[in-house]
Structures are given as C-alpha cells and as structure tokens.
Amino acid sequence: MIESKLFRWSSRCSPLLAALALGAPVAAAEEGVLDTLQMHGFLSQALVITDRNDFFGPSSSDSGSLKYTEIGANVSLRPHQDFLVAAQLLSRRAGGDGQDARPVLDYGIIDYQLHSSQQRTLGVQAGRFKNPFGFYNQTRDVAFTRPSILLPQSIYFDRTRSLGLSADGGSVYAEERLDTGTLRVKAGIGTPTTRGLEDQLFPPGMGVHVDGSTSYIGQVLYEHGNGQFTAALSAADVNLDLSSGFGDGELNFQPWILSLQYDQENWALTGEYAIRNVSLSGDIRQSDTTGESWYVQYTRRFHPDWKWLIRYDSLVTDRSDRSGTAYQAQGLGPAHARYADDITMGLQWNVTPRLLLAAEYHHIDGTGWLPLQDNPDPAETKRRWNMLLFQLSLRF
C-alpha cells in the first residue's frame, strides 16, 4: 500500500510532488534547463450529502452540496542540478459563498541542495513551503495521494486548513540512509497562512481579524527497511495575532503528533495520535486548553485498481472536559461542539492512471470539527449525524 505513505510513491504519482516531499533531485545533471520543466495539474469535484448539519455547503438539503471543488496547477524548473524552483496555484471551494475559490499560491519555493550523495542529502527551501505535519499534510491537496476523500478531521482539520497547510519563510531538510532504513528530518520557521481563519476560529459577529506571526515546525521520520514500518514525530509552535474593535490578543497553538504505519503489499495499518495545547490571551478572550486527537485506519487493496478503507477517528477539544458538559454549563455552546467520534468506510477505484472515483460514509457523534461558516449557530447543530461523499478526480 505504498500510495498511503508520505514519502513513498507509486509510478503514477507526480515526480514534482515526490521531490517536494523528499527534497530530492527531479532531473539529471546532463539535461538542459528547459528539459527539466515540468507541469502538472489536478481537478476534484465532490458531492456531499448529510442528514443533519451542513458540511462544505448546504449538504443537508435534498440535493446535497457540490461546493467542494479543488483545481490545481503546478510547475517546476531546475536551472542548476542543485537548484529547484517550484510553485502551485490552487483554487479550492469548500462551502461558503464561493469567494474562497479564487486561485491562490499554494506553495512556491526555491530549493537548494547543499549536499547530495548516496548516503545523505542536505538542503534548504525558501518561500511558501508545505508544513511537515503528520503523514499526509504535505500532499493533502491531491486526491490521488489521500487514503480517503476526507483526511481524519481530528488531525487534519479542514475548517482551519490554511493554518496547518503552509508558511512563508524558510526550511531545512536532511536525509540519512542507514543500514536498517532511512532517517529524514525537516524543520521550518515562518509566518503561517491565515486565509479564511476569521470565520472558523470566531463567530462572524465578533469581527476578529487574524494575522500570522513567527512560528516554528519540525518533523523527524524513520522508515525501516523497504518501508514496511514508518514512524514520525511532528511538533509545532504556531502564533497568531488577533485584533478587533474591542481589543487585541494572541493565540498560541502547540501540537505534538506521533505517526505510525505498518505497510504490507496489499494492506496497511496507520495510526496517529496528537496532543494540542491552545491558549488565548489578551482583551478578546482568556483560555488555555489541551486537546487530544487520534485515529486508527486500515486500508486494503483487493484488486490492482480497487481499495477499501475503514477508520475510527476521535477528537476531544479539552481533555479536562471530555464530554463538554462544563463548556455547556458556562453557556458557551452545546456540549457536543467539544468532541467528535467518526466511523468512516470508504472505497476508491482507479479507473485509469489519471481518473479516480471515490465514495465514503461517515457516522459522527459530535460536531467538534464541523465548519462554522456552514453552521453559524452551534445551538442548531445536532449531536449525531451521517455523511455520504462521492468524488471524481482527474490529474494531468
């Protein structure tokens, strides 16, 4: 099941994406500059149907919601064997009024390899880089690299996606090939992207403006042997500046993520566990909570072009108030807004190397990761709900 790993790719995957994740050369040194030019793109369209609550648009209506669309185009050029220039534009609509669909720079980096040999690689990146976060964050935009239509929402929040996706600054990476496996280290410093965060972190009526501040992220990953076992530890210190008509404040987010995967030829068992501390200070609000997230996922390829998945995903916003009863007693919202337990079953069919069809079913208890822009009044949300998704994806 090598498609499910962060750093291992099937022959169908874009070499550009693989190079960005690995910090590895794309072209041979003897090629001309224009010969190294690569361009790729992808398009995904989903139908989201829910019986209660809304997810990515009016999904609880009779016809469901088609407001989940991803269109991307990327380009790379290697002006020198040690330099890689790469960028991607992404248009993504995930509910809302459609304004988020305007194309933005998803990533744009200059990559310089300081050292490259059979034993080790060392390099630096400058620009807008993808955050090394868990197994899937660096490649989460491309449906062909995801194990399911939606990644586990307890770890890879879609409602605050921009915060975890990328940062403007610089990063370093190193790879050491050992006798028993491969060790990879990535670390970065920069300003996180904050597009659309205002509507997801605070009620629209509060009028809070969010700006990124200097933040840090890093990951250590070890892949044993030929990739049968992979372990990673990711950590970050994310800082945001808040401003509003009634005062200023700061938000600090510190997640730690342990990622494990055991991978056989036709099946894979994956799990990730996260501890997240979130603190708010200043005039807007004072709070300090520690949340907990984890999931266990089993995928199996029962045919060269078919794969199914089952996953249990759990989110608790505050470990000292797992049921949310204290939160509700303070009049801050319904108790079920502080947790979410999700049972997911999915199916993927690679019709051709460029066409993917997928379907999945979610049974959710809680609304802890429900998008606020689609559900502006938490009091009207329902604790138990079901979701069905269908997606068509193309790449070129």
Tell me: pLDDT of 20 over 60.
no
* Longest Cα separation, the chain: 68
**305-316: burial string, b at 16+ Cβ within 10 Å, e else:** eebbbebebbbb
| Contact partners, residue 366, CB within 8 Å, separation at least 6 | 315, 336, 337, 338, 339, 340, 341, 383
Q: Are 181 and 175 in contact (CB under 8 A)?
A: no
Q: Are 121 and 174 in contact (CB under 8 A)?
A: yes
pLDDT, average across residues 231-238: 96
pLDDT at 282: 82
Cα gap 392→358, rounded to integer Å = 7
pLDDT, average across residues 25-43: 74
pLDDT at 28: 45
At 186-225, the pLDDT tens digits run: 999 999 988 777 777 776 666 788 888 999 999 999 999 8
Percent of the chain past pLDDT 70, that is, above it, reads 90
How many angstroms from the chain centroid is the CA of residue 235?
Answer: 14
pLDDT at 84: 95
Tell me: pLDDT of 9 over 60.
no
Tokens 């992808």 label which residue?
42
pLDDT, average across residues 353-382: 94
Cα gap 171→218, rounded to integer Å = 9
Tell me: pLDDT of 158 over 80.
yes
pLDDT at 98: 60
Tell me: pLDDT of 123 over 90.
yes
Six-digit token pair at 111?
A: 């990559």
Q: What are phi and psi of 270, to 5 degrees?
A: -125, 140
More confident residue, 389 or 26: 389
pLDDT, average across residues 56-75: 93
Give the angle subtended at the CA of 170 by the CAs of 168 and 174, to the nearest 5°. Answer: 140
pLDDT, average across residues 354-368: 97
In this structure, of 130-134, 246-250, 275-279, the range with the lowest mean pLDDT score is 246-250
Mean pLDDT across the chain? 88
pLDDT, average across residues 53-69: 93
DSSP state of 361: E
Tell me: pLDDT of 35 over 60.
yes
Q: What are the helix and strand counts (H, E) for the chain?
A: 4, 16
pLDDT at 287: 86
Q: Which of the four pLDDT bands, split at 50, 70 and 90, describes residue 11?
A: very low
pLDDT at 376: 87
- 291: closest CA among 326, 260, 256? 256
At 77-101, the pLDDT tens digits run: 999 889 999 999 999 898 876 666 7
Q: Kindly report each contact of residues 191-194 with a partner whose C-beta sits within 8 Å and lies 24 or more positions away, as own/partner.
A: 191/167, 191/215, 192/162, 192/163, 192/164, 192/166, 192/167, 192/238, 192/240, 193/128, 193/162, 193/163, 193/165, 193/166, 193/167, 193/168, 194/162, 194/163, 194/240
Q: What are phi and psi of 197, to 5 degrees?
A: -70, -30
pLDDT at 7: 38
- The H-assigned helical ranges of 193-264 are 197-201
In this structure, of 114-123, 132-141, 198-207, 268-277, the range with the lowest mean pLDDT score is 198-207
Domains identified in the chain and CATH numbers: 45-66+113-395 (2.40.160.10)
**pTM of the predicted model over 0.85:** yes
Q: What are phi and psi of 327, to 5 degrees?
A: -60, -45
Cα gap 257→293, rounded to integer Å = 9
